[in-house]
Amino acid sequence: MTRIAIDAMGGDYAPHEIIAGSVWAAYEYNVPIELVGKHDDIIHELEKIKQNGFISDCGKKGTRKRIHIDISKLDIKITHADEIIEMGEHPGQAIRKKKKSSIVIGVKSVVDGSSDALVAAGSTGAAMAASLFGMGRISGIIRPAIAATIPSLKKPIVVIDGGANSECTPEMLYQFAIMGCLYSKQLLGIKNPRVGVLNIGSEETKGNTLAQETYKLLEKNKDKFNFIGNVEGNKLLLDTCDVAVSDGFVGNVTLKVTEGVATLLFRLIKEQFKSSVFGSMVGLMAQMFFKKIYPRINYEEYGGSLLLGVKGITVISHGRSKAYAIKNAVRVAKEAVETGLNKKITEMLGE
């Protein structure tokens, strides 16, 4: 049975929220888990959860509730890790220096077969470096990439690379297209994903050299997937594509700008409603409609981004992840294992 390892010490709200989310996932998805981190801290948290349950707000206000789960019935393994890699540390140096860190030991659990996939909410750089060095690349893959899922008008779309590689070649982006397409099919259930190059114009000749060369390479290989050409930023979320390919710099900027604009708009709306008594009333009524939108645009629904192209599964969660996001991240990890995503990537791109 698929077991998911979780770096219990990584993330802004570790260990409490991470462990709560892991326990929640173990219960809800009936999946064995392996909590990696300081043994005593984990035991202490589990004891607290056993006694008092934990509070989850399901990723949004107004849904806070205390959840009680009978931990004794769950399959929970604890693996001790003495060290923690902090957010500020240089990823490469940190994973070499801190061999006993929770992220390094977590990766080792996957490599040794103790678990089948890893969820990590700490330093993204450290999670990538530890996975890359620990699991190794799938033979044939030039560079692993981050496949991030973001909400759009209808279905979630995949942005790949979400930030693993700041500098890329067209050949790398071609592989990202294939991996993103498989991710979209296997995990998001999209039958024939539309793959586009994130670009600044729709014509083939638009954009920088990388975008232009990638367009040509994808066009040449369009028998392998549903290539729809270039996709511009203003249409990206309006049901024009299912997989958007870019280098990790542009991809990461795109993901973060998306988050920033949503934050800005909701702040402006809130501000307006709060500007008068009548506004507060309307705002209160409007809130029940906003609540229905929120789950559709809440990154926590997807739990995290998948690092694709390594010999193993690592789900990288947002540093701000709370229990609800971690629960979903464990689900994503489980699905990635059980749908055989890596096997399919190897079939398509492996050597």
Segment lying near a copy of itself (by CB under 8 A), choices 30-38, 114-122, 254-262, 333-341 = 254-262
Query: Interface with a copy of itself includes 253 (CB under 8 A)?
Result: yes
Question: Of 223, 227, 225, 245, whose CA–CA distance to 236 is shortest?
Answer: 245
Cβ 104 vs Cβ 134: under 8 Å: yes
Least separation in angstroms between residue 90's CB and a copy of itself is 8
The number of residues that bind a copy of itself (CB under 8 A) is: 57
Token pair 């014509």 is found at 203
* Residues sharing a CB contact under 8 Å with residue 152, sequence separation 6 or more, in sequence order: 236, 237, 238, 239
Query: Interface with a copy of itself includes 252 (CB under 8 A)?
Result: yes
Residue 193: asked if its preceding bond is cis (omega within 30°), the reply is no
Segment lying near a copy of itself (by CB under 8 A), choices 43-51, 66-74, 93-101, 232-240 = 232-240
Query: Interface with a copy of itself includes 93 (CB under 8 A)?
Result: no
Q: From residue 327, give the alpha-carbon distance in Å to each of 114, 181, 284, 321, 349.
A: 20, 24, 29, 10, 31
Query: Interface with a copy of itself includes 249 (CB under 8 A)?
Result: yes
Separation between Cα atoms, residue 319 and residue 11, nearest integer Å: 5
3-state secondary structure 111-137: HCCCCCEEEECCCHHHHHHHHHHHHCE
Segment lying near a copy of itself (by CB under 8 A), choices 33-41, 99-107, 248-256, 330-338 = 248-256
- Identify which of residues 22 and 321 has a Cβ nearer to a copy of itself in the complex: 321
Residue 161: asked if its preceding bond is cis (omega within 30°), the reply is yes
Among 64, 93, 96, 153, binds a copy of itself (CB under 8 A): 153
Token pair 């990288």 is found at 316
- Residues 163-222 touching a copy of itself, rule: CB under 8 A, are 163, 166-167, 198, 200, 203, 205, 207-209, 211
Q: Which residues bind a copy of itself (CB under 8 A)?
A: 88, 90, 152-153, 163, 166-167, 198, 200, 203, 205, 207-209, 211, 232-238, 247-250, 252-265, 267-269, 272-273, 275, 279, 282-283, 285-286, 289-290, 292-293, 296-297
